Amino acid sequence: MTVEENLASHNIQLPEVSAPAAAYVPYQISGKQLVISGQLPFANGALSHTGQLGKDQALEAGQACARICALNVLAHAKNACGGDLNRISKTIKLEILVSATADFDQPHIVANGASQLILDALGADKGKHARVAYGVSVLPMNAAVEVAATFELA
């Protein structure tokens, strides 16, 4: 299956790419690596989830938030690939930052929202990835989750 077919079969629609919120670029290509800057949970021009997991947001909301961040990652990847996500040969790594209280010990479960979206969108061969999930005290703009990614291009 192509990536577009995977997206359609999972009823996934990518958003329009947003402009960076600070002094950085949304992606860099170096050799065969595509690095996507951290993406916040913007949906329809606004943050979908703010605050901390364990205080302001429940686990399931965190997973949904991570999914939105991953959608934004893929939207920027598509833009970087000239509109063709099939240029991605594999997902190397996802980094998921979860704004959380000191006693919230499930950032790895929140991260599953992003991981599953990438697997659904790219398929098992291209979507399998290494990953790290951090619990942090605050994220830019009080976002609940941020996701960054590194892909290999064909």
Both tokens of 123, joined, read: 């398929």
CA atoms within 13 A on the CB side of 67: 14
| CATH 3.30.1330.40 is right for the domain spanning 3-13+26-94+102-153 | yes
pLDDT in tens, 116-127: 999 999 999 999
Return the ∠ at Cα 83 (arms to 145 and 117), rounded to 5°: 35
pLDDT band at 19 (very low <50, low <70, confident <90, very high): confident
Share of the chain above pLDDT 70, in %: 100
pTM, whole model, 2 decimals?
0.96
Query: What is the predicted pLDDT for the residue at 153?
Result: 98
Share of the chain above pLDDT 90, in %: 95
pLDDT in tens, 33-43: 999 999 999 99
pLDDT average, residue stretch 8-34: 93
